[in-house]
Structure 1
């Protein structure tokens, strides 16, 4: 069996095997004379020389074996040279959750295969001069290096030794690692086999298409483009052909393209180590002169090609890695999770991994269609170009991120997550954050039918915005239930909830649901909720306004929080990787032990309390005309945050919600500096119930339909909480008007109408909107709050 060579013209085994004297025939270049035939005397002489060299190699192998190196010398008896597949090597593939459909590649090989006989001779000469100036004259091995390896084995000295180009390629082909005598012997044996099977130009072509040149460039063509923006296929004398000086730069890099953390050497890329790069460049040119590939006069005039050398930005994506797509942000999360698993970039860039993500291809398509400006079916398509939307969907049952849209690519700003290493990102969630205030309230045994004063919009002189509604515009006035306040999105009751139980309790509930990072509005600093004590964060950084969403959070975290509530209070950390596999010696992928998804569901809330919240939130989508198809039950909450203190414009608008199968969070705003957001008519201020709700509904309907999901329902409401809770500050509603024909209660209602209160209590249990006796005097207010509301007051109309 012969080795499979890289695909492409000029790289396969020679075709011309018919003629006895042709290039691939029995007496052609690289072939021995036919056994028993006279053949070409020169060929017979070469064959005898090769046979002698083979015995020398075998002798060294025996020496090494006798020294205890194992059976490496037996490599000679193997039938073939290991395949070197340049299409697959150095690629780490990212696939969708189906385990096979490619989403992108990490560290994908930036390689363009080029025919060996089409590569510029100038480039070939430079590489041979730099790496193996006697390449054309030897039989594929460095006998001195082999001897040194064997001798050092006896003496315990340095095991390194120089390698020929053929040996270097053999090392790549066999995927050998570690510099030791075992490798040196096996490398030499495989090199001899290569020299017997292929001619010199073919071997050089294999080598030039295989090796790494730094800057993410594998192979000579990618290197020429990366360093000079030129092609090796352009022949000398033609326009844009590589010069000898430029070719020498590429050749000089091969020895060590990038810094070595172990030795401390900075490598030979002129951008990172210009002095060493120029020294190596000069060495290469001198060898070119020695081999008559450059004249002494040309050498004297040669100048380092600094003007044509391209600057390299290591942060930019290499060709075809997938970062230039909307799923590019998924790649960034996959990288981070691999790092957390103990698989650093230096490892996966070597390739051979297959990462199965949580992203569902149909869900991702639905998210992009719903939220992209360029999508003709998206509500964003009718808005100005500087408007941006973000959408994240999470499976409540396991925390898998099913769809993620944070922008058009993975190299720009991620509107759904953190940026600049976590220093920026997030958007004020407005009233959508009230779902966590509800969770904190239910934890404190505050029932959903508790009564609150929605007109108490002043806290010791500090005005509390009530979502754009004045006190006289609130029909329930001083006796609004917590349920009514949620559906109508009144801010004032939520403010007083935070004031009563403490804003740190709201922060704590948000953290437990899945909010990991929140930004203060005084300095715009991020705070990690998972590592800090909520009492240290609130009210120092997050005051009572946290209850109705003043402080920015990410879309990803919000989707995770909604998923926790949809899962009846059981938290699953949002994540992007399901499994990590690596290609084994047999070419098959096997799971990497200890890596991949580690599910750890954690109950963080009382399920019955969360059932009460979900029961109320299910009323909101229908209330804003965003019911899902097929009568599918879904929770929902809208939110808006103002652009400025005057509150005449909005800057952020949200819609979040879930079914038992998926939780989705949608944000709409603008790129760059926050600007006013309007609906498509250009006049109406955008609110959460507008474009964000339309995007959310479009995605949710598509998601369930495309995945063929059955209709599932949430648990029934449990009516938890303490009816005598001390926190509510509302008053009892006025008594209902007398029922016609029953006006005989008179002055003795308790005696003449004894069942009246019991009936009223029964009504309260049935509809969740019954009476709650007020707490006389209401809660005791804390110290006066200083100043106005940073960044925009108190939340806009939802």
Structure 2
């Protein structure tokens, strides 16, 4: 499309000068008052408009002019130098003089010899060609006259309703926690700026490039109608040559095919726009909608993309677009993208043509008086940002971190920000994802990472790694798979952000015991309580302890094993009896309070814990819930782990830190959401210090200590049936340090599989998952430069003689045996100093240095499967 005022080829030009060079409204001086919109209206039913019966002029029209409301004129139109079309007004006053343009029989005209007898005889071919030209010219004039009439008539009589222009849809930008790295851009790549905030230099540059008479005309380009008609009749390109108002009218009407009917309808809407809005409003709406190449819509997005600058008034000078940069942007509008016929005016695609167009724009600005001669003479083409090549790297939304976008969309829906609002755009969303923690999560969990314990493991294996700030619930790092469009193994979030589907989750195994312990501590059960490992479960049957030899359980104390040892060794029987004693519903209530909101029963039915009650839980879950039989969502489990790590204060795990929204009409950006930083204490602080004290022993036992840092952890394994054989199918390690709660799951990719370590042995939670957990925390702590912090000092709680405990410790007679219960209780008694003192806790041999450790990773794995 040629911009209004652009030069045309000789073939595609129709000159419409009227009585004088300055007679058309497009050439009207700026200081000449133009009629108000009401001057173009009349009551319905009035017959002639400003004329007499039988003449049908529209407004006052001098001979040789065709006026619309007394403004538009169509003068003489020389056609290729051969045929002259004289002045024409509506009402049958057009004349087409023969020859050189003089009256019949009259004196010489501009195209013939003087006198009536000076004409040269013409051949038949010459006459035939001349007649064809006259007919073509007459047809063009007819179209012009019909166009004028329809523009005037349609404006008053057509039932076209002008839809109120709305702010253009804008881009939504999603950042990581730093606010610098973009995770995704969604929606229209546009930034709306209210017209009052768009700089004059930008407006004037666009007027100079596209419609230099914009500030003075009434919105309709009669020259463009004539030029388009002539060009189309003579076989030229179908053109518009519209004013800025007409271009925007076309956008409002959503009519984009250039045609005669469209052209006239466009003129009607343009006139209505000019009636309802002032010039700057129309220019502002236009500048926010136009495409400026390289996927940038609107001048603000273009200014930022091409120059890292802004068109907004009040912007510091060094960041505000200047006249030369504004001219570059304005010059792109004519053709933003290359095509087969022309390479367009994007300076990155066609620098030569872009500069020529830029020169044209600046010359027009000077002619319009919008820049001084000094500014014009000092012109220098500005440097434009080059196109950023994608290279071989994927954009963030196509990397593993792209899976976070599902959770962002889900949280937006929960906040009431629906799809309709998102489509309008203007949202700036800052997530909780820390790039350093995210990198550590991916490096620790991905099979593609050479530093991961998963490296070169079978493709059927999959890991998930979740890191949460326990003090506020922010998800700092999230790895749920390498394909952001695949299954979300860390959260099972649907791809459309609608939530967790009916089928999802994994069995948490013994990691679920942290909730059973929280529930038991609340019921005053002490870690010193004694439990009997030989009792069968309700209804009969042995309580599984992952294949551990009953004779070796608790160092042979199978009938009187204390809860602390059972927790560290991860024996199942005390937890079964805790659930039986206090009720499965209280175990589930503890998990729910910590953050677990979804579980699946044995039939695979999804149970929403947040919206069901104890009766439903009792009907769907048995005592095995106490040691992790039933599937949960890893992300929800990670939230629960964070609650324990945070000493019993719960924060909802979340991915959105702040949301800002830019008003499309005012341009004002406001914060509409900030994540709640307040927590809710769900477990007593002293009970949690007791629990954390025990959990801090587990990483030591599994040889997964974090360099110089106190950590807490819990392993977990659940079996899967493979060809009738029970093998390990879900493995976990959870816990963390005071600054980071970390949850790791390893299982099957797609279907559950039998998991084995690199040496061929069965995989347990204390194996590969614990190694991933350790690497993730170590790498994160180093990258974040966190100081070493400890958990609170342990406060033993509960009743060692709890009614729920079912084991009885054997009664020992005081003896001088250094390993006796007496000497364990009173180690300083002289009777117990015969051989150098008692054994250490849990040890087998006495002596000055105490006994042996309570176990190691291999013992833990072999005995309890964790």
Structures share fold, TM-score greater than 0.5 = yes
Deviations 1:701-739 (A, max 9, x none): 011111011111111111111233101011114538722
Contact 1:140 1:164 in 2 (8 A): no
CA–CA distance in structure 2, aligned partners of residues 525 and 54 of structure 1: 78
| Cα separation, partners in 2 of 1:188 and 1:51, compared to 1, 3 Å | farther
Task: Please give the alpha-carbon distance, in whole angstroms, between the structure 2 residues aligned to 1:98 and 1:356.
Answer: 8
Partners in 1 of 2:787 and 2:248 — Cα distance? Answer: 72
Identify the residue that residue 662 of structure 1 maps to in structure 2: 740
Listed one character per residue, the Cα deviations across residues 224-274 of structure 1 (whole Å, up to 9, x for unaligned) are: xxxxxxx9856389xxxxxxxxxxxxxxxxxxxxxxxxxxxxxxxxxxxxx
The partner residue of 2:806 within 717, 721, 729 is: 729
Report if the CA contact (8 A) 1:451-1:730 is conserved.
yes
SS of the equivalent of 2:455 reads helix
SS in 2 for 1:471: coil
Backbone CA RMSD of aligned residues: 5.1
Deviation at 1:183, TM superposition (A): 6.5
Alignment match, 1:501: 582
Kept in 2: contact 1:617–1:636 (CA 8 A): yes
**Whole-angstrom CA distance in 1 between matches of 2:28 and 2:35:** 10
* Cα distance, 1:508–1:143 mapped onto 2, change above 3 Å: closer
Superposed CA deviations along residues 417-458 of structure 1, whole A, max 9, x for unmatched, are: 134542122100000000000001101100011111123244
Which residue number in structure 2 is paired with residue 302 of structure 1? none
CA change 1:399–1:94 in 2 (3 A) is same
**Cα distance change, pair 194–533 in 1 and its aligned pair in 2 (3 A):** closer
- Per the alignment, residue 235 of structure 1 pairs with 340
| Aligned-partner Cα distance in 2 for 1:205–1:552 | 50
Hey, what's the Cα distance between the residues in 1 that align with 2:187 and 2:818?
A: 83
Q: Secondary structure at the match of 2:775?
A: helix
SS state of the match for residue 789, structure 2? coil
- Report Cα offsets for 1:399-418 as digits up to 9, x if no partner: 11111111123321110113
Distance apart, 1:207 and its partner CA: 10
Quote the Cα distance in structure 2 between the aligned partners of 1:684 and 1:365: 30
8 Å Cα contact 2:183-2:397 kept in structure 1: no
Pairing partner for 1:59 from 15, 19, 36: 36
Which residue does 1:157 correspond to in 2? none
Provide the residue aligned with 1:536 in structure 2.
616
How do 1:581-660 and structure 2 match up within 5 A?
581-583=660-662, 590-593=669-672, 595-629=673-707, 631-644=708-721, 648-660=726-738
How far did 1:347 drift?
A: 1.5
Contact 1:354/1:589 (<8 A) preserved: no
Distance 1:444 1:587, change over 3 A: same
Shift in CA distance, 667/52, structure 1 to aligned 2, threshold 3 Å: same
Q: 1:58 to 1:602 in 2, by over 3 A?
A: farther
1:671 aligns with 2:739: no
Change (3 A) 1:586 1:493: same
Cα shift readout 1:49-68 (whole Å, capped 9, x = no counterpart)? 3539998976218999xxxx
| Equivalent in 577, 580, 583 of residue 659 of structure 2 | 580
Which of 516, 532, 535 lines up with 1:437 in the alignment?
516
2:639 maps to which of 550, 560, 570? 560
Q: 2:451 aligns with which of 352, 372, 377?
A: 377
Aligned match for 1:393, one of 454, 458, 467: 467
1:11-58 per-residue CA deviation (whole Å, 9 max, x = no partner) reads: 9x99xxxxxx9969xxxx99x9xxxxxx99999458643539998976
1:527 aligns with 2:607: yes
Is 1:684 matched up with 2:761? yes
* CA deviation profile, 1:179-223 (whole Å, cap 9, x unmatched): 99996646673598699x99xxxx9975997789xxxxxxxxxxx
Aligned to 1:442, what secondary structure does the other structure show? Answer: helix
Q: List per-residue Cα deviations over 1:576-615 (Å, max 9, x = no partner).
A: 111111235799873333x231233111111101111100
Q: CA deviation at 1:537?
A: 1.0
Q: How far does residue 104 in structure 1 lie from its aligned partner after superposition?
A: 2.0
C-alpha separation in 1, matches of 2:632 and 2:524? 26
CA 1:740 to 1:106, structure 2 compared with 1: closer, same or farther past 3 Å? same
1:99 aligns with 2:179: yes
Match of 1:518 among 593, 599, 610: 599
Q: Does 1:710 align with 2:784?
A: no
Aligned partner (choices 464, 477, 484) of residue 410 of structure 1: 484
SS of corresponding position for 1:515? coil
The match for 1:136 is: 240
Gaps of 5+ in 2: 42-166, 192-208, 211-227, 259-268, 299-335, 343-392, 844-862
Alignment of 1:481-496 (within 5 A): 481-496=562-577
TM, length-normalised to structure 1: 0.61
Three-state SS of the structure 1 residue aligned to 2:744 is strand
Take 1:183 and 1:616, find their aligned partners in 2: how far apart are those partners? 75
User: Which of 452-461 and 484-493 deviates more?
Assistant: 452-461
* Cα pair 1:407 1:413 within 8 Å, conserved: yes
Which position in structure 2 is the counterpart of 1:797? 865
Q: How many angstroms apart in 1 are the aligned matches of 2:38 and 2:29?
A: 14
In 2: Cα distance, 1:143 partner to 1:392 partner: 52
Which secondary structure does the structure 2 equivalent of 1:665 belong to? strand
User: Is the aligned partner of 1:342 residue 2:416?
Assistant: yes
Aligned position for 1:473: 552
Counterpart CA distance in 1 for 2:538 and 2:248 is 88
3-state secondary structure, aligned to 1:536: helix
CA 1:503–1:209 in structure 2 vs 1: closer, same or farther (change >3 Å)?
Answer: closer
d(CA) in 2 for partners of 1:144 and 1:651? 62
Give the Å deviation of 1:375.
0.6
Shift of 1:90: 2.8
Q: Do the aligned partners of residues 57 and 731 (structure 1) sit closer, same or farther apart at CA in structure 2, a change above 3 Å counting?
A: farther
Q: 1:40 to 1:564 in 2, by over 3 A?
A: same
Change (3 A) 1:99 1:500: same
Question: For 1:467 and 1:43, how far apart are their aligned partners in 2?
Answer: 102
1:326-349 residue CA offsets vs partner (Å, 9 max, x unmatched):
112211111111122221122123
Give the TM-score taking structure 2 as reference length.
0.57
How much does 1:559 deviate? 1.1
SS at match of 1:407: coil
SS of 1:478 mapped into structure 2: coil
* Higher alpha-carbon Rg: 2
In the alignment, the residues of structure 1 paired with residue 190 and residue 394 of structure 2 have an alpha-carbon distance, to the nearest angstrom, of 8
Seen in structure 2, the aligned counterparts of structure 1 residues 597 and 589 have a Cα distance that, compared at 3 Å, is: farther
Listed as ranges, the matches of 1:157-556 within 5 Å are: 162=253, 185=275, 189=279, 235=340, 322-420=396-494, 421-422=499-500, 423-474=502-553, 475=555, 476-522=557-603, 524-538=604-618, 540-556=619-635
Distance 1:479 1:458, change over 3 A: same
Does the 8 Å CA contact 1:105/1:321 hold for their aligned counterparts?
A: no
Residues 351-393 of structure 1, C-alpha deviation per residue, up to 9 Å, x if partnerless? 2211111111100000000001111100111201121100111
Instruction: Give, in whole Å, the separation in 1 of the partners of 2:341 and 2:437.
Output: 52
Tell which has more relative contact order, 1 or 2 (C-alpha 8 A, sep 6+).
1
Native 8 Å contact 1:108 1:321 kept in 2 = no
- Cα distance in 1 for partners of 2:448, 2:806 equals 49
Q: Verify the 8 A CA contact 1:135 1:164 in the aligned structure 2.
A: no
SS in 1 for 2:439: helix
Worse overlay, 54-63 or 442-451: 54-63
Tell me the secondary structure at the aligned position of residue 436 of structure 1.
helix
Q: Provide structure 1 residue ranges, at least 5 long, that are not aligned to the other structure.
A: 1-9, 15-20, 33-38, 65-85, 118-124, 147-159, 168-178, 213-230, 238-318, 746-752, 770-794
Q: CA deviation at 1:163?
A: 7.8
Q: Does the CA contact (< 8 Å) of 1:584 and 1:590 recur in 2?
A: yes
- In structure 2, C-alpha distance between the alignment counterparts of 1:194 and 1:575, rounded to whole Å: 39
